[in-house]
Amino acid sequence: MFRNVAVRAARLSGRRFQSTVSAPVFPQAEQTFTKLSQEEQTDVIRRLNDVMKADWRQVSLEDKKSLYYATYGPHNHRRPRIKPGDNTKVFIGVVATIAVSLTISTIVRNM
């Protein structure tokens, strides 16, 4: 009786692990995706989409992360437009514009 239970558990667990283990299509997407050319990025996204058409439970976690990064990551048109130092440029521009407008209005009033 116990032997049958152990054999069945070994078969089920072996089958489960066997179906979920697969090599990732695009490992370490965060480090390498932005270094690829536009054509290579499109090819990687197409391969990842082909992987996602399979059973969702059989797709590795690394592939899921890679597809999420390729789709929603900060690259190409999703790259942040604000760069370091832009805030100070905007602040200086606003202060300079206010100073110029105050100077012009003071000159016009005194005429």
State pLDDT tens for residues 52-81. 887 878 888 888 888 888 778 777 666 777
Quote the pLDDT of residue 3: 57
Name the DSSP letter for residue 79. Answer: S
Q: What Cα–Cα distance (Å) separates residue 79 from each residue in 14, 23, 32, 72, 73?
A: 43, 29, 15, 10, 8
Q: Tens digit of pLDDT for each residue in 32-51?
A: 777 888 888 888 888 888 88
Q: Return the higher-pLDDT residue of 25 and 1.
A: 25
What lies within 8 Å, CB to CB, of 23 at 6+ separation is: 60
Quote the pLDDT of residue 92: 96
Q: Look at residue 96 and tell me whether its pLDDT is greater than 90.
A: yes
Question: What's the token pair of residue 16?
Answer: 């489960």
Question: In 10 A of CB 44, how many CB atoms?
Answer: 19
pTM above 0.75, yes or no: no
